[in-house]
């Protein structure tokens, strides 16, 4: 881009000028400090012509430094904008690839997490249901045993004792299964937590890439807007030249590029017309 190349060349020149002004400022400061001093009638030191001349030149150089620094800062912002604009398409393509890859990871991790959580929930639900079933069977066996004992029915008592024994055996088997399943459940819980962390990271990367795509697209659209506004401003300046004023009183059209002149208003159109006529 021609403007970008020109601005970079100007920035190099201004950098050299700023360095030279800095050296000159230091020389004048030394000259000011070394200038002879006069004395007033109260025996107080006052400046000499040499002192005031060195001070005057130093202040002028300082003003030039500030002007150069202001211009350098403006160019720096403009160069950054133009470089970003020039690389917007590449940034969009790169960010879209990252976003797509992250979306695929989100889907893959989400599926894996779903399987792990499903298996974990199945094991935990099985243990809960088994415990509830054994508790119910234990209560029923205990009640049958109590009823058979009270009735004196030896046959019923024998059946109730067998049922209670079966409940006790089932309880021992269940505890053994729980002990065997404990490492599996712990491993599944750890894996689920790891998957959640990976999912959060992938979602963050996807969101970041989507934001980068959006930012680059906004940059491009902002540049298109500024081009259209530039055409509109030219027409507006022509209208001002033809005597149109009041209909444009509340005109305020924003621009996006840094250093682009700001909002387009009636005043800016009048100034544009005056500069064109000068």
Instruction: Give the C-alpha separation, 192 to 122, whole Å.
Output: 14
pTM above 0.85, yes or no: no
Query: With bands split at pLDDT 50, 70 and 90, how would you rate the model's confidence at 218?
Result: very high
The pLDDT tens digits of the residues spanning 11-32 come to 999 999 999 999 999 999 999 8
Of 55 and 174, the one with more pLDDT: 55
Helix axes 154-241, 266-277, angle to 10 degrees: 40
Sign of the alpha-carbon dihedral angle for 102, 106, 108, 109: positive
Q: What is the 3-state secondary structure (H, E, C) of 219-257?
A: HHHHHHHHHHHHHHHHHHHHHHHCCCCHHHCCCEECCCC
Query: With bands split at pLDDT 50, 70 and 90, how would you rate the model's confidence at 44?
Result: low
């Amino acid at each position: 881009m021609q403007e970008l190349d020109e601005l970079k060349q100007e920035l190099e020149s201004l950098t050299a000028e700023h360095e030279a002004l800095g050296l000159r400022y230091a020389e004048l400061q030394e000259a000011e400090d070394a200038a002879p001093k006069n004395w007033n009638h109260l025996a107080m030191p006052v400046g000499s012509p040499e002192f005031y001349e060195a001070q005057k030149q130093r202040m002028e150089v300082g003003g030039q430094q500030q002007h150069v620094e202001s211009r350098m800062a403006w160019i720096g912002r403009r160069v950054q904008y133009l470089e970003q604009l020039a690389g917007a398409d590449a940034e969009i393509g790169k960010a879209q690839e990252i976003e797509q890859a992250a979306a695929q990871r989100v889907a893959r991790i989400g599926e894996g997490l779903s399987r792990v959580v499903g298996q974990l929930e199945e094991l935990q639900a099985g243990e809960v249901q088994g415990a509830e079933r054994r508790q119910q069977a234990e209560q029923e066996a205990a009640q049958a045993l109590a009823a058979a004992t009270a009735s004196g029915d030896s046959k019923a008592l024998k059946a109730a004792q067998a049922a209670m024994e079966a409940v006790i055996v089932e309880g021992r088997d269940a505890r053994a299964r729980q002990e065997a399943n404990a490492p599996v459940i712990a491993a599944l819980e750890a894996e689920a937590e790891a998957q959640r962390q990976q999912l959060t990271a992938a979602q963050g990367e996807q969101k970041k890439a989507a934001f980068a795509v959006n930012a680059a697209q906004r940059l491009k659209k902002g540049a298109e807007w500024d081009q259209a506004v530039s055409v509109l401003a030219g027409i507006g300046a022509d209208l001002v030249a033809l005597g149109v004023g009041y209909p444009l009183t509340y005109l305020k059209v924003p621009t996006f590029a840094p250093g682009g002149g700001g909002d387009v208003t009636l005043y800016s159109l009048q100034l544009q017309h005056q500069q064109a006529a000068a």
